[in-house]
Structure 1
């Protein structure tokens, strides 16, 4: 809001919009393009159920003049974009599927053979994409394959790069140019930074919801790399921590685990039920000093991540 009201002479603006306010912001700023990446459970105390959000997007974006660049692999995203006249479908995959096993159109059971999906009851199905992520390449609508070279790790960032290339093309930027520019990004607001703290290398990773935790687990070094987990439940995080039970923490088996944050005891109970060995610590200092040798992987949700950044430095 400050940037838009500040009299900037910038020709373009990119706005990351809270899912609850997407339709209203889209109405008020009349964007040229809207990118819909995925929709999964997050901040349940304020954002409500994902199917309801998808319905609000569908109603709020109906008839928009914007080009909507949407993930063809997420049924909720496809349902939300199904009222839009001009959609560019992008296939980037969907690791987290637990919010989309029922059809958002009729409530039937979604069938998911391979990478495809469809509802056997009403016929709602995956659209044919014009852009796609294929390994380390972006496939454009002309069938050309463009290599993805990122400094940011993981499949999720390749998916983001693919969608970003499709958005850039809407503004006339060729995929090769867009992807080359993306290589320059080393970290995003501290995410993926490796910092030296108390004589140890600590990699900072942000995971705000079950889908994000699932993707982050695929990034960390394998056992016996020590892992610090930090969870808060403040206003910006959402005060409902029931999502902890949706995260498959058994993927951390074999790692020395250290737990910090405002809701460290909630997380400790979850890890105990998962059968994992861990230690509860009072601070990031104690956790780092207690960790065995090796680079430390630190995973935190939103405000916990900010707390850690302030303590360990950038």
Structure 2
């Protein structure tokens, strides 16, 4: 005897399948993928001919909480890559007590030249919010926020590690005998950037740089355009988390929490403005807000960019 499947039974089967997929997706994103720390490797030919390669380690959006020991160990192990320079694009803290975890994670980087800018979660703690609102556009700021220990963070990064603070200013560092002029802004998502202060800061450095980099936490188009106008030969940013939750194998993020094109919310691409095109690396970041503990089709990451000499 052949049994006929009723509409109600079919609907229950479909609902059961959808529910199982949803549960499996949540288990993967919350319990597995957010711990699958990944190193993205890129190479760029931008050094003067005949010079030795430079290994640039790009770290962003750590969002450290004190209990995240697995993350701390993975970041510390990045020192084994023997980077020549480190660029940190902000949002290091994710909890009022996150600074001790950052100290442990960054301790092996002592002695490696570096530079950094702030994200908002270097100064104020994350706040609970509905994650679905991110799909309506860049997030708004919570009215009541808890201050973070940014003074201790700056003391660590500048005083202990010797990194250059690029928040609305510029600095020169020596890497492998090359002079790198770098400039940056504080978090543009919070309107803390002061682009008008950069021309004077760059002029104070003088001429003769082998490379010029622009560093920002949030890659808003106005910031990237201004950086190219100021002579940046490479752009580095974070903030987007790569979308954090993506459709598998899609080249575009679902959201970017800023106005960068969604197909450039993660990874190495290029940015063109005023007739110039330069490399742009947007890190998807290592962490996440403690109020949105999920990654799906967007693993936590750091980037190792090998800079090579130009041919000829």
What range is the shorter-chain TM-score in? Answer: 0.3 to 0.5
Structure having greater relative contact order (Cα 8 Å, sep ≥ 6): 2
Give the alignment's TM-score, normalised by structure 2: 0.32
Give the alignment's TM-score, normalised by structure 1: 0.32
Counting strand residues as a fraction of each chain, which structure ranks higher?
2
